[in-house]
Amino acid sequence: MTDILVYITSGLGAIFVLLAAIGTLRMPDQYLRISVNTKAATLGVGLLLTASALFFLETSVTTRVIAVIIFIFITAPVGAHLIGRTSYFIGNALWGKSVTDDLKDKYNKITHELKSHKEEKEHEDENDTKS
């Protein structure tokens, strides 16, 4: 019974990791590559670790596997956000066919501060009262 579960989880994990690798190679843009890495690779590695936990079925192995999975699930989005922010500051252009760029003209390039939505609203209110 556990053998079948090991087959399923390890096979799905390997397929997800392969999809992440193909996406990293074929995606046209840094931001799309980061997106592929964060989602597909994290899920694939989580499934592979789950396969080893299901194979051994010991408390010590399971706790170790859970620790690794929780660590990866916490750190992968944080790292992806940091490297994506850096890529935006360095000035890497978006893919030509990307439709929206919500951060356009909102980052101060010198102080690296994001112009907040609230400030913009107040500005609009001032304009309204003036007019």
Partner 1 sequence: MNVHDFLYYIILPILSISSLLVFVRFFQGPSIVDRVVALDLLITIGIGIIAIYSILSNKPTFLDISLVLALIAFLGTVAFAYYLEKRNKDD
For tokens 């799309």, the residue is 32
Question: Is 60 among the residues that bind partner 1 (CB under 8 A)?
Answer: yes
Amino acid of residue 9: T
Q: Which is nearer to partner 1, 1 or 128 (CB)?
A: 1
- When binding is defined by CB under 8 A, the residue of 90, 97, 99, 129 that contacts partner 1 is 90
- Cβ atoms 39, 47 nearer than 8 A: no
**What angle, rounded to 10 degrees, do the helices at 59-90 and 42-56 form?**
170
Q: CB under 8 A: which stretch of 64-72, 98-106, 120-128 binds partner 1? A: 64-72
Structure tokens at 68: 């690794």
Q: Which is nearer to partner 1, 4 or 131 (CB)?
A: 4
CB of residue 115 to partner 1, shortest distance in Å: 18
Question: Is 128 among the residues that bind partner 1 (CB under 8 A)?
Answer: no
- Cβ atoms 85, 107 nearer than 8 A: no
Question: Is 85 among the residues that bind partner 1 (CB under 8 A)?
Answer: yes
Q: CB under 8 A: which stretch of 82-90, 100-108, 120-128 binds partner 1? A: 82-90
Amino acid of residue 72: I
